[in-house]
Structure 1
């Protein structure tokens, strides 16, 4: 299987961000509209944090906080781990597995945010590869007479 690079995965994707003073409800609407599970929180062209579905569940809903008055910077994960755009996706997946999270912000050489990869990104091509391998195995078994 070929190594998928983060730059290839982000190709054609736009950077979706939130501001620190955005309300949780506004951030949730943005995630819903864009069909994404996390937002990069950017301040002065630098990543200040990451706001995820888990933050909504654990820090807003479970805590009984008001999403209309709670700001993203009150519940975001500050200074998240990042990965360079020039790295293989496997590196990001390893970071996610070790850290227990599902999203990794991606930065360029200068540390500026360029996107985000998620555990879901790994499923795309891997599922295609798995289907191809399963079809091939079925064809082999059929030709042998199993």
Structure 2
């Protein structure tokens, strides 16, 4: 699992991508519709920031800002750490742990977003491995 390239982790997964002038409520609705915990913010197709559930809680709600009047660009994290699609998932997990964040945008060499990897993805991959292990054990039980 840790050596799996990020392009496999994010393969065929939709992600939220918006420009910096979109209001917080609209971005949050898009995140909800896709069941995503982060949105990537771009200008002219190039990544400029990331907005997460934590940003919504701490930078908008706790600050008393109006989510209909606040543009995402005012409350996003600017210039987030990014990784290329060929980097191993373990490298992303290490950066998230060291940096204290839960999401890393995956970009091409021109900083155009390809997707988002999250700490939650580690649980999903572990669950797949666990499921495969259960099937193997069941097969062994049948043979014995």
TM-score in terms of structure 1 length: 0.86
**Kindly tell me: are residues 2 and 80 of structure 1, through their superposed partners in 2, closer, same or farther at Cα, counting changes over 3 Å?**
closer
After TM superposition, the structure 1 = structure 2 runs for residues 80-119 of structure 1, keeping only pairs within 5 Å, are 80-119=80-119
TM-superposed CA distance for 1:45, in Å, is: 1.3
- Correspondences of 1:1-146 after superposition (within 5 Å): 3-133=3-133, 136=137
User: What TM-score results when the alignment is normalised by the length of structure 2?
Assistant: 0.87
* 3-state SS of 1:73 partner: helix
SS at 2:104's partner residue? strand
* Gaps in structure 2 of 5+ consecutive residues: none
- For residue 128 of structure 1, report the CA deviation from its aligned partner: 2.8
Which blocks of at least 5 consecutive residues in structure 1 are unaligned?
none
The structure having more radius of gyration, on CA atoms, is 1
Q: CA RMSD in A?
A: 2.1
Seen in structure 2, the aligned counterparts of structure 1 residues 132 and 69 have a Cα distance that, compared at 3 Å, is same
